[in-house]
Amino acid sequence: MGFEHFWLSGFDQIHTAFWTYLAVGLQNGAVYAMIAVGYTLVYGVLGLINFAHGEVFMCGGFAGVFLTRDILGDRTGTGWGSVALVLAGIAIGALVSALVAIGVEQAAYRPLRRRHAPKLAFLISAIGASYFLQTLAGKEFGYGVNIFPGQVFEPGQVMFTLFGTTIHTITVVSIIAAIVMLVVADRIVRATRLGRGIRAVSQDAETSSLMGVNIDRTITITFILGGALAGAAGFLYSLQSGMVQNAGTEIGIYAFTAAVLGGIGNLRGAALGGLFIGLFGSFSVPFAFEGNVQWTEIYTFLILVLVLIIRPTGILGERSGRTA
Amino acid sequence: MLTVTDAVVRYGTIEALHGISFDVQQGEIVALLGANGAGKSTTLRMVSGLHAPASGSIIYEGRDITKVKAHEFVSMGISHVPEGRRVFPQMTVEENLEMGAFRRSGPLRDDIEEIYVQFPILKERRKQPGVNLSGGEQQMLAIGRALMSKPRLLLLDEPSMGLAPMIVETIFSIIGQIRDAGTTVFVVEQNATQALRLADRGYVMENGRIVFGDTAKNLLTDPRVRAVYLGESVEGE
């Protein structure tokens, strides 16, 4: 197979199945975007990457998986019942992940902040928290065992057909849920007093305390916000792909990449970066050599490197890159 | 209004303040003078809760506030304009002013307009992010932001630092107006003559100690103050 032929066949596939690639890309992008916001917000207030954030996502996913299994058992959700289950799954995933995120902050970061520990100590502590959660989940739910949720939607349920492409219900639900939650998060950060506190701490923590901002409380709120989004994403992801104890590593790295790509510290940048990584990953599938989809990962990280060479602070990043 | 007694501040194993005592009476402007590194900023940071003293006490309006956290000070009527202005760089002038009233609820419009009357340049620049302002404008914004909390005690750290003499005049006349409007002022300055012309009383710091204090009038003619102002060491120290 010649190189030219390889490229042409790739474009041919995109040409014939454009809407399918778009739908898959948007669905993945929605999940990445929701997780990426947590990385970027925490980076804003603490100036460090919360490497346990992927595990926060994983915990929310498992919570949603077991909720739907407990309710549905072997049955399949129908009609409004499915809608209610999705909302419940998002809520329980968000709640559990928010609690896990608070736990991570209290156990892994707060004691170090009290002692003015160097950044490296935070990094080690974050990796420790990440391993702890992964191993705990592995012990409870099995190592490398993919656990699927109850059937909220029939497998492969089609919501509608667009230009001859079947669009699955799960895709539509994921995208709508992501948009709503991202818009709400954006409004909270930009237009509420809570958000003003988060932005103030991101820009100058000490001065914000002189303004009366309780830094510890603001950091907790930031973890709750990021955790809730990651937990909701965990549930939406598991509806499609199931959940496995180490899913946080791979998905987390994609989402982290999205946050850096968009400009770390910038909420809209993180959402945009997530969408971009999702779409790019999907549309690069036809260009994978010998059908090996691992190539999409190589392409994605190549793009990351290229973007960072051209714009070291990411797509929407500012000079300092520290604005929430 | 504010009484500090035998306050010791440590940074790790280094003792920065070796037991200082001073007081600020209601309605006064009190200046804290001294050379670079004498401990002036540390003193101010201690008074606003950014760095708790290892021992000693701080009494404000009859209440012991030695252990109170920094973010609670503003609700007690103490507002701190930090060294180097520290305006929020990515917030607009107006958002910066709103931050000053973070702990207050209710509409802020009238208060913001009041600040604009006092600092007309801020009104012109209201939509600009703080990072785009000149040094003088940033200092005005930092003071305006501090006034948004309606403080009874205003702490100012080196308000003249890095500013052109004309701007310094303006800033100092504003500080005078703030006191006339009923707010007590405690100001840290390297520019001793300028500060003492405005202040009622002053203290002189050296090497983490308050070496003496007196009325501003007496300090202005004191040869030891001239020595500090010129950056020379005080005789006998």
Range of A200's domain? 28-144+158-247
Are the CB atoms for A244 and A238 separated by under 8 Å?
A: no
Is B67 in the A-facing interface, judged by CB distances under 8 Å?
no
Which residues are CB-contacts of A217 (< 8 A; sequence separation ≥ 6)? none
Cβ-based contacts of A324 with chain B (< 8 Å) = none
- Find the residue in B nearest to A218 (Cα): B71
Residue of B86, B90, B103 lying closest to A212 (CB–CB):
B103
Where helices occur in B20-92 by DSSP H, the ranges are 40-47, 70-73
- pTM (two decimals): 0.90
CB-side neighbour CA atoms (13 Å) of B174: 25
Q: Is A212 part of any domain? A: yes
| b/e code B65-102 from CB counts within 10 Å (16+ = b) | bbebebbebbebbbbbbbbebbbbbbbbbbbbbbbbbb
Query: What pLDDT, on the 0 to 100 scale, is given for residue B237?
Result: 38
Provide the 3-class DSSP secondary structure of residue B200: coil
Phi-psi region of B92 (alpha: psi -120 to 50; beta: other; left: phi over 0): beta
How many other C-beta atoms lie within 10 A of the C-beta of residue A81?
Answer: 14
In a domain, A15, yes or no: no
In this structure, of A6-10, A185-189, B60-64, B102-106, the range with the lowest mean pLDDT score is A6-10
Query: Which amino acid is located at A207 in the chain?
Result: T
Residue A237 located in a structural domain: yes
Contact assessment for residue A269 and residue A32, using Cβ atoms and an 8 Å cutoff: no
Residue B230 has pLDDT above 70, yes or no: no
What's A23-86 look like in SS3? HHHHHHHHHHHHHHHHHHHHHHHHCCCCCCHHHHHHHHHHHHHHHHHHHHCCCECCHHHHHHHH
Domain count, chain A: 1
What CA–CA distance (Å, rounded) separates A221 from A215? 10
Within 8 A of A268 by CB-CB distance, chain B residues are: none
In angstroms, the CA B139 to CA B169 distance is: 13
- Residue A2: its pLDDT value, please? 65
Per residue in A279-302, pLDDT tens?
Answer: 999 998 888 877 777 888 888 889
How far, in Å, CA of B135 to CA of B164, rounded? 9
Distance CA B6, CA A13 (A): 79
Does A252 map to a domain?
no
Q: Which residue ranges form the domains of chain B, and what is each CATH number?
A: 27-49+75-228 (3.40.50.300)
Answer yes or no: is A83 within a domain: yes
Minimal C-alpha gap between B201 and chain A (Å): 25
Asked if the structure places residue A268 within a domain, the reply is: no
Q: Compare CB distances from B70 to A200, A210, A318 and report the shortest one's residue.
A: A210
* B72-122 residue pLDDT tens: 999 999 999 999 999 999 999 999 999 999 998 888 899 999 999 999 999
Report the residue from A203, A212, A318 with minimal CB separation from B88: A203
Q: Which residues of A touch B12 (CB under 8 A)?
A: none
A2 inside domain = no
The span from the CA of B9 to the CA of B18, in Å, is 7
Kindly state the average pLDDT of the residues A58-72: 90
Query: pLDDT of B144-178, one tens digit each?
Result: 999 999 999 999 999 999 899 899 999 999 999 99
Q: Do B89 and A203 touch (CB under 8 A)?
A: yes
Residue A260 lies in a domain: no
Tokens matching residue A172: 């539509």
* Digit-coded pLDDT (tens) for A127-142: 999 999 999 999 999 8
pLDDT in tens, A213-271: 999 999 999 999 999 999 999 999 999 898 999 999 999 999 999 999 998 889 999 99
What single DSSP character describes residue A243?
B
B235 pLDDT more than 70: no
Task: Return phi, psi of residue A14, to 5°.
Answer: -65, -40
- Per DSSP, the residues of A277-293 read HHHHHHHTGGGSGGG-T
Q: How far is A198 from chain B (nearest CA, A)?
A: 11
* Mean pLDDT, chain B, whole residue set: 91
- Residue A291's contacts (CB-CB under 8 Å, 6 or more residues apart) are none
